[in-house]
Amino acid sequence: MPNLSERFTSTQLAEAITAKRTGMKLSLVDVSEALSISKPTLVKIEKGDTNVQLANLLKVMEYLGLSFSLLSDDATSKEKTEVSDDWY
Amino acid sequence: MPNLSERFTSTQLAEAITAKRTGMKLSLVDVSEALSISKPTLVKIEKGDTNVQLANLLKVMEYLGLSFSLLSDDATSKEKTEVSDDWY
DNA sequence: TTTAAAAGTAAATAATAGTTAACTTATATG
DNA sequence: CATATAAGTTAACTATTATTTACTTTTAAA
């Protein structure tokens, strides 16, 4: 059973993107051309550089079928809790 | 029971950030000064504008105790699955 | 209602990410 | 090995985001 409350670091995110892209047999140029972003920018994203536009990261993730869910450190409990619509 | 496979949109992320900040009784200026980012940038983030630096978003999230987990659309199943270390 | 604090906006400038084009390693594969 | 494809890098230039400062609007409390 996967640990659903695991935080993701930007490095892990970058690794997951590369893994998903290569698993889909897509080259950097395949993806960069499909999304109209440059290869150096895509390389930055896959290196875990956080000095990139959020919009570019989201385009890449959507194209590869990756998405986020959000976790909130809850001060009142020891566990991190999933943020849902009725959370706030 | 929270739905752990729920995708988050950038709008929902923005709303969660504002909710967490106000819940912590912090003003925009409190956060922007603590993180050395400008108030207009923080407002952009809280409006769900994705044309912001990932680094700035992550700083805000970390400060407020929010983090991501990653979901992968798995082509072989109907469910989205959590990305874990042994996923790729 | 007056005041103060916070939220939100705007415009000019500064800072920096993104693009392009070319080049250099790597990694297969015939 | 030789060749082709992909990965990764670099530098000059362009495009865009971030900052600063100031202002307007909203909210809430006295």
* pLDDT tens digits, one per residue of B8-45: 899 999 999 999 999 999 999 999 999 999 999 999 99
Domain of residue B50, CATH code? 1.10.260.40
Q: Is residue B72 part of a domain?
A: no
- Residue pLDDT, tens place only, A2-29: 444 467 899 999 999 999 999 999 999 9
Residue indicated by tokens 């952009």 = B44
Residues facing residue A70 across a β-bridge: B68
Residues 36-65 of A with CB under 8 A from B: 50-55, 57-58, 65
Closest chain B C-alpha to A12 CA, distance in angstroms: 9
Closest chain A C-alpha to B59 CA, distance in angstroms: 10
Q: Is residue A51 part of a domain?
A: yes
Residue indicated by tokens 């930055």 = A44
Q: Tell me, what's the pLDDT at A79?
A: 52
* Weakest mean pLDDT among A57-61, A72-76, B48-52, B79-83: B79-83
Number of domains in chain B: 1
Contact B81, A4 (CB under 8 A): no
Does pTM top 0.85 for this prediction? yes
Q: Tell me, what's the pLDDT at A73?
A: 83
